[in-house]
Amino acid sequence: MPLDISRIRQQFPSLDRPAIFFDGPGGTQIARPSLERIQNYLLECNANHEGAFETSRKSDEILDAAHAAMADFLNASRPDEIVFGPNMTTLTLSLSRSLARTLNPGDEIIVTRLDHDANISPWLLVAEDRGCKITWIDFDVEDGTLILDEFEKALERRPRIAAFGYASNALGTINPVRKMAAMAREAGALTYVDAVQYAPHGPIDVQALGCDFLACSAYKFFGPHVGILYGRYDLLDELQAYKVRPASNTPPGKFETGTQNHEGIAGVLGALEYLAWVGETFGSDQEQEYIDEGFSGQRLALKKGMSVTRAYEYELSRALLDIFASIPGLRLYGPTDPRRLEERVPTFSFTLEGKHPREVAEALDKEGIYVWDGNYYALAVTERLGIEASGGMVRVGATHYNSLEEISRLGEALKRIAG
């Protein structure tokens, strides 16, 4: 059955106000089941790890369930391939430090100019510490797509690590991650994928992608501020973690340093339960492909949930493209072809002639419409486009709790701002 937007919005208490949230790329609103999991954790089993008493045992059960649910969401082969942490940036900095121990002076690391800086700066720091060489992969400034010929050429030099994003948090571009991971694997490179921007918008299958590491953040897919790292178990097991001596020596505990944000991890479980509910409630036989591929239970529900929301978001993207095309003086960056919506997520960045991006964002705020402006930590993107010094871009991000009526109101507001 089609997505019922009114039923969806009822699952988000924060939407019950006269405001339009197009700020999702910086963090979505939280789903009710996630809020309930957080509250219940703090009231019923708020305790530290591995105690001999009831609340500690219940706490560990919740954390184990969250690891298992996250493994289902990413289709990891086992729950202990899932590492929780404060956010994607912190997890990446931590793991990059472990990977740095395996590198030698002169080794090469690939990064791209399309990425969020959280998947660039950690590798720049590793290169500085270990004497490695950084190879930059450029993107086409006209359509916002990575130049794969440059990536292929860089792989000929047998780099040790290739870091790239699943989807651009600035331009919305979806990269051909499966193809890139296969190319890197053939060249002997480990792959580190930033999936933060893609995770709210489509199913992720790390086994099918063939990546070695993949990171995302729950606050981008309707949960709390918690980061998640997937890593192949054999790699997590062999890497040296920077940890205290009494901590576990096996994954994932060796990388989950200190006392974790237990209530936040419980909230991740709730966010995934919400997405599974979407799949069970609105999924249809059109997701038969997942059944044919062997998915069942919660994994199937999560895949169906992400599939049905993605289909609805195509409608939102098409409507946004129509709106942007109608605004005089508006320049949209990244993929703009409405016939190729599968190549982008509903994250759009633009400039408006004669208006500073912050001026546009402030004017929209006065109309009760929340958007981002600046570089959103995608510094390499705004520098490459030559717009960093002029304030970057305005970013509008839709997700499946947004409506077509909200997009119409955005269009009316932008026309007034454009004058």
What is the reported pTM?
Answer: 0.97
In 218-353, alpha helices (H) = 233-238, 262-282, 288-292, 297-325
Return the amino acid letter for 40: N
pLDDT in tens, 365-396: 999 999 999 999 999 999 999 999 999 999 99
Question: Which residues, in sequence order, are CB contacts of 365 under 8 Å at separation 6+?
Answer: none
Q: Which residues of 294-305 are buried (b: 16+ CB within 10 A; e: fewer)?
A: ebeebbbbbbbb
The predicted pLDDT at position 319 comes to 98
Instruction: Give the C-alpha separation, 205 to 73, whole Å.
Output: 8
Domain spans in the chain, listed from the N-terminal domain onward = 5-31+304-418, 34-272
Tokens standing for residue 338: 């409405």
Average pLDDT, the chain: 97
Query: Quick one: 2 exposed, middle or buried, by C-beta within 10 A (0-12, 13-18, 19+)?
Result: exposed
Instruction: Give the C-alpha separation, 51 to 267, whole Å.
Output: 21
Judged against a pLDDT cut of 70, whether residue 295 lies above it is answered with: yes
Judged against a pLDDT cut of 70, whether residue 198 lies above it is answered with: yes
The predicted pLDDT at position 1 comes to 62
pLDDT in tens, 77-130: 999 999 999 999 999 999 999 999 999 999 999 999 999 999 999 999 999 999
> What's the farthest any 2 CA atoms get from each other in the chain?
67
pLDDT in tens, 53-91: 999 999 999 999 999 999 999 999 999 999 999 999 999
- Composition of the chain by helix, strand, coil, percent to 5: 50, 15, 35
More confident residue, 284 or 166: 166
pLDDT in tens, 216-231: 999 999 999 999 999 9
The predicted pLDDT at position 300 comes to 94
The predicted pLDDT at position 286 comes to 58
- Partnered with residue 92 across adjacent β-strands are none
Rounded to an integer, the average pLDDT of 185-197 is: 98
Judged against a pLDDT cut of 70, whether residue 285 lies above it is answered with: no
Question: Which residues, in sequence order, are CB contacts of 26 under 8 Å at separation 6+?
Answer: 372, 376, 395, 397
The predicted pLDDT at position 288 comes to 78
pLDDT in tens, 13-22: 999 999 999 9
The predicted pLDDT at position 193 comes to 99
- For the domain made up of 34-272, the CATH class stated in words is alpha beta
pLDDT in tens, 313-334: 999 999 999 999 999 999 999 9
The predicted pLDDT at position 146 comes to 98
Instruction: Give the C-alpha separation, 102 to 239, whole Å.
Output: 8
- For the domain made up of 5-31+304-418, the CATH class stated in words is alpha beta
